[in-house]
Structure 1
Amino acid sequence: MTDALWDEAPSAGPDAVPGGLTDPGWLVCADPDSVLALLGSASEPEEQRGATVYRASLDVHRHLTAAERRFVLALDAARLDEEDLAAQFAAVAVPGAEPLGWEPVWVRGSQADSRLMWTLIGHQGQVIAVASAVVAGRSVAVTGSRDGTVRVWDLATGREACPSLYCRTDARSALTVEVDRIATATLDGREVGLLLSKLAGEQRLLLLDLATGSLTGECVRVVAVAELAGRSVVLTLENNRTLRLWNVATGEELGSSVSAQVLAGSHGYPAAVRVELSGAVRTWDLAGNELDSAPVDADEQAYDPQAVAVVVDGRPVACAFDALDIDHLHDGDTAVALLGDLAAACGHRSGAPVRVSQFVVVAGRPATLFWEYGGSLRVWDRVAGSRPGTQGWVVTTDELHGQSLRLPAEAPGEDSWCWQLADPAPAVAVDAERSAARVLDTCVVAGRTLRLTVDADHVVRVRDTAAGAEVGEQPFPCHEDRIRAGALAEVNGQLRVVTAALDRGVRLWEVAGGRQVNGPFKGHTGHVWDVATAIVNGQPVAVTASADHTVRVWELGKRRVRRRTEIRGHKDVVLAAAMTTIQGQPAVVTAGADKALRAWNLATGIPYGGCIAAEVSLLATAELDGRTVAVTAAPDAMLRRWDLDTGKELGQAVAGPAGRILALATARVDGRDVAVTGSSDGTAQRWDLATGQPLGQPLTGHTSRLTALATATVDGRALAVTGSWDKTVRLWDLATGRQLGDLLTGHTDWVTAVTTTTLNGHPIAVTAGRDGTIRTWSLPDGRPYAEPLSCPAGPVRWLATTVHGTSTHLITTNGTKTVSVRDLATSAELAPPLRCPAPVQSALAAPDGTLVLCFGPEIAVLSAIDGQASARVAAADYDSARDADRPGRDVTVAARVL
């Protein structure tokens, strides 16, 4: 088994005891395999609470230490609005680890969802296709990814059901096959996956045995179907460019596939084919006439010595050759030319390259041809479910589980046909419906064949194919972006629709009422490409495939846990954040990739006013005439000012410097509120916040991009500290615009972050570089204040400081999911690293020690824990409880004492 979520089936070991899911100490410290074994048995409300929180980050728990898992569980509990449980997780004492130090107070924009059953990991690329089936009584999902693998998952356990299939890599192009679409079927009593694969624009249909994970066949490319000498024949092209001619009635091979040479003509096009038969070399022109001598190019060279040809009764009927220099051919590397009688029977000019197709019509009946290992050709009559005639091979299908399969169009420029393989008719006919709607799913419910479609306006409809009428309240106004996939399911006797769109949303709809059920499913951090439905332990589920490399399984019949607050956060990644005070209360202001600017009460998480529509790349705050304002910089270098009390813009937007604005801060200079910007041209500029106009000349000196900026007031003088790609740090007097002292050197690579604070009561600047070091500088003279600190995790992208008593805490992140908290004076870790569910984009510290982390679209506020006042689980108590008759049951965690 490769890259499974768990290498072995989880079993209830000594830690796995009934009631363990209600014990925060056990959930933190127990082996994840033991916890996994109990998740499906949660029945009581308290057990379900613990199971829901654990599932939120199930894909990472096994890779964390207990100390790291403690914070993840505390954060996930807060994301699910379980504040009391979050405090209990944060208070757990882990043997050999420091106390956590912070506990989550509130989270906004939460992507945690109580309906999540499993997060299936293993794919290393975007997961773009998913289908479901039942194999040996187990519900499975089949997924295809751009990493070139196909995986089969047991939906009841969340593990891979069989070894992964690794798609082939083309030796010539070094490209790996990608599986674009997946359907499932029953063939000859076996459950198989039908994999529509693509390589360099060429599509093929593979058959995957879902019980073993091995390939059992492939749909060959069909070149032509025609009548030849009174026989119905089909010409096929295999993976190795071998051509074969078959008798459709008997399944027998008619012509021998032999090596050949295609002789060059004018403009690189073939002029003749030369084949060696029975020791004699014979040459034909491309009309099928035998030649005494063959034309060659000036160098008497063959066009392609590796060509193949089919010869029937001593005459060539087709040849295949390299098509790299031939225009207007859709098959990247191979062209096929029909010759003589076969060309005439197919209505083609002899010798002209022709396209290939993956499905054929034999005697007016749709058929599919499967090439199986061992040299057998199978012809499947779509109507009768078997091959025409009484002899030869037979392929049958019992049921296709309502899945549809897209196949290429027969002519260039046409849309794809969408076949429901159990029905000979295309699911989308050649009429107005074909151009107006796209089929997402087809299934049989209560004896009715239902078709789910979506049109160009993102409107979804369900139609009864037999009655030709729409079902339920129509249409569904589902998503704001393009709908990629959809599936039908029956939930508690009601017909439901699951849709997935490029807005990363997965939604559940009630067909009868046309309304959304329980809000969108949250959790994916990338586009959702495909969705399927299945039944697991008698309950309906949805399986989603995403660009975030994961597959997620959702319970369709379970109601989403109602959050105590329905306040909505950002819909996309938080790009910038700043601390401020609004209406006398501490607040945090955030800006997201959803082009929204929001302000939040730091203590309660309640937003101030509405959402301000603004595209923001950088953000700072200031006080202006008694009003709290936000100063924002957009990607186009436009500066804007916003009144956070009213949500209105102040004045007009101002064009910033010629280059992009890469750093932004505010300060008060001689009684005037100013903004300071750093740009890609290496200069800094001061701006009057009252008028929006620049103050004085740019601050010049850096020789490369100015990427880091902070301000401070020392002895009544406003200073700016700037860091650059030129590896230097500079100090500026903001009143005069002059540089203070010499440039500060020491970093050996780009300076990436700057902040100001006090250390032992002395004002300092703290800088971080891509060289992996943190340096401190005395203000205002700029002398090095202490020895450099190393950053084991790598270059720092964000840093913040907060003062606790006489200790200054340094909070850093390098753009990953981990935040480090250390003592700035000693570099000693003050708490285990804080691990978040998504990469941390910003880390801020409030004066009271509150910590704000922005990860993905979420904002988390953490409160410092008083180690003396908080009740904790003692490590000795936990160790002894594990050995008791009911291990873990006697371990309790009290709420923190305020």
Structure 2
Amino acid sequence: MADALWDDDPSAAPDAVPGGLTDPGWLVRADPGSVLALPWNMSEPEEQRLAMVYRASLDVHRQLTDAERRFVLALDAARLEQVDLAAQFAAVAVPGADPLGWEPAWVSGSQADSRLVRTLTGHQGQVTAVATAVVAGRALAVTGGRDGTVRVWDLAAGREACPPLPCRTDARSALSAEVDRIATATLDGSEVALLRSKLAGEQRLLVLDLATGFVTGECVRVVAVAELAGRSMVLTLEDDRTLRLWNAATGAELGLSVPAQLLAGPDGYPAEVRVELGGAVRTWDLVGNELDSAPVDAAQQMFDSQAVAVVVDGRLVACAFDHPHGGDTVVTLIGDLAAACGHRSGAPVRVSQSVAVAGRPAALLREYGGSLRVWDRVAGSRPGAQGWVVTTDELRGQPLQLPAEDPGEDYWFWQLADPAPALAVDAGRAAGSVLGTFVVDGRALELTTDADHAVRVWDAATGAEVGERPFPCHEDRIRAGALAEVNGQLRAVTAGLDRSVRLWEVACGRQVNGPLKGHTGHVWDVATAIVDGHPVAVTAGADHTVRVWGLGERRVLRRTGIRGHKDVVLAAAMTTVQGRPAVVTAGADKTLRTWDLATGIPYGGGIAAEVSLLATAELDGRTVAVTVAPDATLRRWDLGTGQELGQPVAGPAGRVLALATAGVDGRAVAMTGSSDGTAQLWELATGQHLGRPLTGHTGRLTALATATVDGRALAVTGSWDKTVRLWDLATGRQLGEPLTGHADWVTSVITTTLNGHPIAVTAGRDGTIRTWSLPDGRPCAEPLPCPAGPVRGLATAVLGTSTHLITTNGTETVSVRDLATGAELVPPLRCPAPVQSALAAPDGALVLCFGPEIAVLSAVDGQASGRAAASGYDSARVAARPGP
């Protein structure tokens, strides 16, 4: 590797003793670099199990303390149904850290996959393109995304192989270009990647030398090639509409590009061209003849002020302007170059994406020094044969094609090698689109998809279809695909807009071991490679990650059926179903699910519902869920049967930001808090609102909880106006004056007990937690500082002799402290993904929702006999809500 590439990470030297990978304690305490340096394809079953668990959150282990890593490993073991390993990891002693306090009882594991080899992180935006190559024996992946960077990864080491390459930035808007297409090839004996970048509608195709990590050139758009005055010339068009004329033999630029004005003639068609050259104004007609060297009358209408001209030796050679013509971008050639190219002067000429020089196929790259390089596409040619600046190239893996994503978009097609023979076109193939062309075991194959989301494989030499039949792959449009040989069998890897990655046996169209699970957003691209002799797939995701999958690995199948959501959990609530404790969750996958708290087995197959807020209640002996949709519609669901109760109810005007349920005068009610600062009561049996809205807040009502104190139903609300207010739900009146103390928005409210006394706990964006006596509203103690930023979720549980305060702030960390003193009771619980909800269960268990997963933690050291203080006061509260 050249000096531009990073050397091997010295921290990656193994410090393990033989057999260390079979010791959970070593995995907790070892430097992650030492673990990452070990081969990922272990041979011993116990090593395979532990390696599988460690790889599940490989991307975060470098960032964790030993105590945090202990909890993540315990969670991941439970996600992969390695229950014995989960207990072993939870029991590991960490010097200087307290015991864990909770251990996983069950975790849904919907996105855990034993085939995951690496998770590569570094992109700060969606990763939209990936390609692979081999440089100096190292398998590399090149990725581009919407964070304005291109990154090169060493797939075996699991880290970046060179510093990130920043894309160009627009000086006016400060926006950075996005790389959305990548292809790799061997040019002149060097491995390169072609990167298509887009910025404000402008597209460029850059060439990245993978051996150095530097951009070495840019493919240019060709207008025309001609022999003019004995010289082979190429006219190119820049994204800013600049025309440039090059000598193909020397790479030198000819002439001068200057701004021009097209003057309108009869019927508005451009009849004359005016150019400033050396301070003098020259005017030509459309056939290139100079008409007048005097200034043009200022009264003449200007057709296009952004046109440009190329002037050589005082002569106008060409003039260009954007001219819509059948949906294509074209330019107008004027003067001698038009005649040399065989075009009528002034006729529109389509901008070409490829070029032939003297009848030979070539691609053009402008080096950053400004010179033009002509790359001959005919393998084996040598410089000097045509007098050009020529280098050779060869096919590596696949032709370089960057297909358009949407109809009508330009096709950037740079075929830097002799293309494979055209495929025989039949009706089935003509209706589809090409996902890519791949060379597998010396055989050129093309992967296509059709409107039914089915995939076909074609032999590029014969045009014959490979395999028995097209195989249906996805529930939505297929975004990307790749081919690889695995254990002598041809397999296809496909990624679709249904957010899944799937592996298929091409010969029979059979899916292998179900979807590859792990990405939490769209998968935009996929490529294959060989790492340490094993075939892998590399996927680029909207979740900012690049993931590497072992294609020859077998998935560990889940036995209990705890599948979980397919997307992030947005809200959760505790309840009981058929007399058993249960947790109800709502996901971004538009499903509502109910889980048995003890076993994790879901009740039924889930309810199809788009939910932003969730609460539960008892109605006529049935357990119901009350949901609010993004459009403020309220719905009621029987959790025992999965059926909707009654008709949807149109919610209050404005956005609903908070939701709770309560019992008022023997009636089950729901209470909503809105962006207009008001609260409204709704009767659950009928769906009708009760009384007038509760008014008083002067800002958005962002937090809400209910409680029953001395037989009276109360509500506690928090708002953008920095106040907390108490309400009597039977009368709809505010109790006392607003409670003040928070210096910023109130973001969370719960009700609980402290030393047997009912209280409200509030958290604000000012970074403090405050406690208030119910119902008089007096402060109970000094404010507690938030451990790591503003609190987004609160829960409390009485375990042993103390009331535990559990807080989340939208990150991966959960804090557990003593509500009375603020002292930390157990080390912070670090999850593999941001925590959206934290709930306390009646039996002392803790429910955490992180990403799409649900985890139930059991208290250890005899604390499980405690009870959740939340059960009598805030069991219907919302544990997660969108930001105001």
So what's the TM-score if we normalise by structure 2? 0.89
| One-letter identity of the residue aligned with 2:641 | T
Which residue identity does 2:475 align to in structure 1? E
Are the counterparts in 2 of residues 418 and 428 from structure 1 also a CA contact under 8 Å? no
Greater mean deviation of Cα atoms: 758-767 or 310-319: 310-319
Partners of 1:775 and 1:428 lie apart in 2 by 71
- Give distance in 2, aligned partners of 1:436 and 1:732: 64
Aligned match of 2:456: 461
Query: Is residue 103 of structure 2 the alignment partner of residue 89 of structure 1?
Result: no
Task: Measure, in 2, the Cα distance between the counterparts of 1:412 and 1:610.
Answer: 38
Query: Do the aligned partners of 2:399 and 2:419 also contact (CA within 8 Å) in 1?
Result: no
The aligned residue for residue 397 of structure 2 is 401
253, 263, 266: which one aligns with 1:265: 263
Q: 1:26 to 1:868 in 2, by over 3 A?
A: farther
Question: How far 1:764 moved relative to its partner?
Answer: 0.5
Higher mean C-alpha deviation, range 600-609 or range 397-406 = 397-406
Cα distance in 2 for residues equivalent to 1:116 and 1:530: 17
Match of 1:114 in 2: 114
In the superposition, relative to structure 1, how do residues 585 and 216 fare at CA in structure 2: closer, same or farther (>3 Å)? same
Q: Corresponding residue for 1:705?
A: 700
SS in 2 for 1:654: coil
Following the alignment from structure 2 to structure 1, what is the Cα–Cα distance between the partners of residues 744 and 139?
Answer: 54
CA distance in 1, matches of 2:99, 2:514: 37
Give 1:291 shift.
3.9
1:274-293 deviations in whole A, cap 9, x for unaligned? 4658x998764453223442
Amino acid at match of 2:395: E
Q: Distance in 2 between matches of 1:868 and 1:765?
A: 24
Q: Which residue identity lines up with residue 257 of structure 1 in the other structure?
A: G
Distance change >3 Å, CA 545–CA 781, structure 1 → 2: same
Cα offset, 1:328, TM superposition: 4.1
After TM superposition, the structure 1 = structure 2 runs for residues 205-354 of structure 1, keeping only pairs within 5 Å, are 205-226=205-226, 228=228, 233-237=233-237, 243-246=243-246, 251-252=249-250, 256-258=254-256, 260=258, 262=260, 265-266=263-264, 271-274=272-275, 284-296=284-296, 298=298, 309-312=309-312, 315-319=315-319, 328=324, 337-346=332-341, 350=345
Residue type matched to 1:715 in 2? D
The alpha-carbon distance between structure 1 residues 609 and 127, as it changes in their structure 2 partners (threshold 3 A), is closer
CA distance in 1: counterparts of 2:44 and 2:179, whole angstroms:
42
Q: In 2 relative to 1, CA 428–686 (structure 1 residues): closer, same or farther, beyond 3 Å?
A: farther
1:489 counterpart SS class: strand
Between the two structures, name the one with larger relative contact order (CA 8 Å, sep ≥ 6). Answer: 1
The equivalent residue for 1:736 is: 731
Structure 2 residue 578 is the aligned partner of structure 1 residue 578: no
State the distance in 2 between where 1:581 and 1:293 align. Answer: 91
Offset from partner CA, 1:216-239 (integer Å, 9 cap, x none): 222222121345468764323468
Is the contact made by 2:634 and 2:651 (CA closer than 8 Å) also made in structure 1? yes
Residue of structure 2 equivalent to 1:46? 46
Cα distance, 1:739 vs structure 2: 2.2
**2:203 — aligned with what?**
203
Check whether the contact 1:245–1:253 (CA below 8 A) recurs between aligned residues. Answer: no
Match 1:552 to one of 547, 556, 581? 547
In structure 2, C-alpha distance between the alignment counterparts of 1:828 and 1:3, rounded to whole Å: 49
Is the contact made by 2:571 and 2:613 (CA closer than 8 Å) also made in structure 1? Answer: yes
Percent identical:
78
| Residues 1:672 and 2:667 are matched in the alignment | yes
After superposition, the Cα gap between the structure-2 partners of 1:87 and 1:2, relative to the gap in structure 1 and judged at 3 Å, is: farther
* Structure 1 residue 499, shift from structure 2 partner: 0.7
Secondary structure in 1 matching 2:585: strand
**C-alpha contact (below 8 Å) 2:281/2:293 kept by paired residues:** no
1:529 to 518, 524, 541: 524
Superposed CA offset, 1:316-354 (max 9, x none): 21246xx6xx6649999x996532122244465646776
1:746 and 2:741 aligned: yes
Q: 1:658 to 1:242 in 2, by over 3 A?
A: closer
**Are 2:728 and 2:735, in contact at CA under 8 Å, matched by a contact in 1?**
yes
Query: Secondary structure of the residue that 2:736 maps to in structure 1?
Result: coil
Letter in 2 for 1:830: L
Structure 2 residue identity aligned to 1:461: R
Shift of 1:356: 3.1
SS in 1 for 2:455: strand
CA distance in 1, matches of 2:396, 2:67: 48
Provide the secondary structure at the position in 1 that maps to 2:21: helix
3-state SS of paired residue (1:85): helix
1:835 paired to 2:830 = yes
SS at match of 1:682: coil
- Tell me, yes or no, if structure 1 residue 167 matches structure 2 residue 162: no
Aligned residues between the structures: 860
Question: Take 1:93 and 1:5, find their aligned partners in 2: how far apart are those partners?
Answer: 36
Could you say if the C-alpha distance between residues 181 and 488 of structure 1 is closer, same or farther in structure 2, counting changes exceeding 3 Å?
A: same
Aligned mates of 1:258, 1:230 — CA distance in 2 = 19
Distance 2:588 2:72 in 1: 25
Amino acid aligned to 1:819: V
When the two chains are superposed, the root-mean-square deviation of aligned CA atoms in Å is 3.5
Aligned mates of 2:89, 2:460 — CA distance in 1: 53
Partners of 2:106 and 2:856 within 8 A in 1: yes
Equivalents in 2 of 1:160, 1:730: separation in Å?
A: 53
8 Å Cα contact 2:361-2:377 kept in structure 1:
yes
**Structure 1 residues without counterparts, runs of 5 or longer:** 871-898
Q: CA deviation at 1:173?
A: 5.8
**Which stretch shows the higher mean deviation, 460-469 or 136-145?**
460-469
Partner of 1:133: 133
Structure 1 pair 432/101, CA: closer, same or farther in 2 (3 Å)? same
Within the alignment, does 1:77 sit opposite 2:77 as a pair?
Answer: yes
Secondary structure of 2:74's match? Answer: helix
* Structure 2 residue identity aligned to 1:422: A
In structure 2, stretches of 5+ residues that fail to align are 866-884
Q: Secondary structure at the match of 1:474?
A: strand
CA deviations 1:487-520 (Å, max 9, x no partner) are 0011001110001122221111111121211111
Change (3 A) 1:765 1:163: closer
**Counterparts of 1:341 and 1:426, CA distance in 2:** 37
* Cα deviation, residue 102, structure 1: 1.0
Displacement of 1:127 after TM fit? 1.6
Match of 2:753 among 758, 770, 773: 758
**Alpha carbons of structure 1 residues 547 and 403: separation in structure 2 relative to 1, 3 Å:** farther
**In the aligned structure 1, how far is the partner of 2:790 from the partner of 2:259?**
59
Deviation at 1:624, TM superposition (A): 2.0
Cα 1:456–1:385 shift into 2, 3 Å = farther
Deviations 1:627-657 (CA, angstroms, capped at 9, x unpaired): 2121222222222222211111222222222
Contact 2:244 2:257 in 1 (8 A): no
Q: In the alignment, what sits opposite 2:882?
A: none
